Structures are given as C-alpha cells and as structure tokens.
C-alpha cells in the first residue's frame, strides 16, 4: 500500500464530516485595460519550463492530461457541476507538508489547466507570503498584493488582480511582507475581502499557493477560508508520518484532496479524497 493510499485510509477513519467556514512574467500596459489598473502580466512560458514550474515539452501532453483529471472534481465541487457546490469551493488552496514537494508546480499547472475552461476566470494567488516565489517568478515581487489589501481597508482587492496574456488567467501577488502575516490572513478583513471578490464574479475561481503546513502558521490561517484544500505529496520523498502530521494541522473536519507528484508509476485512478498523479518537474523549493 502506497503512502497516499495509507493516508487516505487514515483520513477516512478520522473523518468527522464537513466543517463550517468563514466564507515568470513582466508588467506591461494594456491597450484595452481588463482591470482598473490597466496592467497585464506577459508570461514567459519557456522561462517557466526552464525553472521547472511548467511541464517540459516532452511531457507536456501527458501532464496536461493528468491535470485535466485532477481539476475535474475540484471544479465540480467549486461550480456545482453535477453535484452540490462545496461552501467556499471556489477558493482552492494548494498545500504541502514541507518545502520541495511540488505545491508551486501544482498550483501553476492547475491554474493553467483551469484557465482553459471557456467559462471560468482563474486567479492564481501567491499565498506563500513568507516566500513569495510566484510573485518573484512572474516579475511582480514589488507589486502591491494580498497583504497590502488586508492591511489597508482603503485598498481595493479588485484593483490588485492583474490579468495575464494567457486567456482567463489572472494573478494576485503576495504583496508587502509583514511580521503580522498570520494575523492578517486570519482577520475578518481577509474574509470580507475574499467574499467580496467571489460575489463580484460568479465565474471566478481562486487557486492559492500556500506556504508549507509544517513550516508556517500562515498556511493554517489560509486553510480556514479555503473551501477545498489540495495537499501535494512527493513520491519517494514525503514520509507518511510527516504527511499525517501536516493533514492533522488542517481545520477540524477538513477532507483534503491528495495529489501525488513526481510519480513514475501510471495513474492508479482516483480515491475517496480526490487523489490523482502528476509526474514531472517540481517547483523550486515549492
């Protein structure tokens, strides 16, 4: 039995039901502004591949197929396609136990795959405020973002969401670093702001790249507002007891999905908690 299968069996045993929730690029000017700021992120996908953040060319089709399989149940729960939508399901948090397991790779590839849907607006959020890799790689490390809007109620979240030159894909940077990041992400202001963004556009889905669950408290604050949580497990790397420690730090009653990253085995199919595989590269330190 694999580590993921063992974890899933343990999660089934421990499950207590649903929980209540509070619900590489550069900046260029847009000739026809898509947001109030008029800024657009031009994404260099070749540079992302070189950095190991997008699938390499020779595995592109295979990994694209795998992410199509991974996104389907997440979108079903988010948008109510063929099922009842999950409360807050349009907020999808990508987590891992430790660094180097592939959560940033997973967040980026999942966001790209979701953006291929014709009727969605996908916002990739750099929620790893302690190590904002996505902001740095997309060239928006000095742009105002998530934390700035939480700190200052006069800053509109909507103005900080940047469109990209990839259709239906938007980016929300991490923003200015703060020693109070955990408290800010756990604040009522954060809850109100996210709810406002969801209400403004019913086709909008947020994919949060979070910090590792065992290395920060910010990830657990984000987990309180996420309707769906995906925990990335790196094949032949993540130890069972480490994974279970991370999962048990999630809010009570949470039923996370598990994604096996860098697996050399063929897809073993989906399990009870939405398990899928994503062979290939992993995010640098992600």
pLDDT at 4: 65
Measure Cα distances from 245 to 4, 52, 215 in Å.
Answer: 14, 27, 12
202 Cβ neighbours under 8 A, 6+ residues apart:
none
Q: What is the mean pLDDT of each run of 10 residues along the chain (286 residues)?
A: 65 55 46 52 91 88 91 93 85 96 94 95 96 93 93 90 96 95 95 89 95 94 94 91 93 86 60 33 40
End-to-end CA distance of the chain: 26
pLDDT at 273: 33
Phi-psi region of 12 (alpha: psi -120 to 50; beta: other; left: phi over 0): alpha
pLDDT at 69: 92
Q: SS3 of 3, please? A: helix
Domain range annotation of the chain: 3-10+24-278
Angle between helices 240-247 and 3-14 (to 10 degrees): 30
pLDDT at 37: 52
Bridge partners, 61 (sequence order) = none
Q: DSSP assignment, residue 129? A: T
Overall residue count recorded for the chain in this entry: 286
Strands 257-261, 276-278: pairing kind: parallel
Chain position carrying tokens 């086709």: 203
Which among 263, 208, 255, 243 has a CA at the least distance from the CA of 90?
208
- Rg of the chain (C-alpha set): 17
Question: Which CATH code is given to the segment(s) 3-10+24-278?
Answer: 3.40.50.300
Interatomic CA distance for residues 106 and 94, integer angstroms = 7
């Amino acid at each position: 039995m694999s580590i993921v299968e063992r974890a899933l069996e343990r999660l089934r045993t421990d499950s207590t039901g649903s929980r209540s929730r509070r619900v590489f690029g550069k900046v260029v000017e847009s000739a026809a502004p898509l947001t109030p700021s008029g800024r657009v992120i031009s994404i260099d996908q070749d540079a992302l591949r070189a950095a190991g953040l997008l699938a390499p060319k020779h595995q592109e089709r295979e990994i694209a197929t795998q992410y199509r399989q991974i996104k389907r149940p997440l979108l079903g729960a988010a948008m109510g396609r063929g099922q009842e939508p999950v409360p807050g399901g349009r907020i999808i948090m990508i987590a891992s136990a430790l660094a180097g397991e592939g959560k940033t790779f997973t967040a980026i590839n999942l966001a790209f795959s979701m953006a291929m849907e014709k009727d969605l607006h996908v916002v990739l959020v750099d929620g790893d405020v302690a190590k904002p890799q996505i902001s740095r790689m997309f060239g928006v490390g000095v742009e105002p973002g998530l934390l700035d809007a939480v700190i200052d109620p006069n800053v509109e979240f909507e103005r900080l969401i940047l469109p990209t030159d990839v259709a239906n894909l938007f980016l929300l940077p991490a923003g200015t670093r703060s020693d109070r990041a955990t408290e800010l992400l756990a604040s009522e202001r954060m809850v109100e702001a996210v709810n406002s963004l969801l209400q403004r556009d019913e086709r909008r889905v947020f994919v949060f790249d979070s910090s590792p669950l065992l290395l920060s408290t910010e990830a657990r604050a984000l987990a309180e507002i996420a309707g769906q949580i995906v925990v990335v497990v790196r094949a032949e790397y993540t130890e069972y007891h480490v994974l279970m420690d991370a999962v048990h730090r999630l809010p009570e009653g949470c039923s996370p999905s598990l994604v096996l990253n860098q697996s050399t085995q063929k897809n073993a199919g989906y399990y009870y908690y939405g398990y899928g595989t994503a062979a290939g590269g992993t995010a640098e330190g992600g």
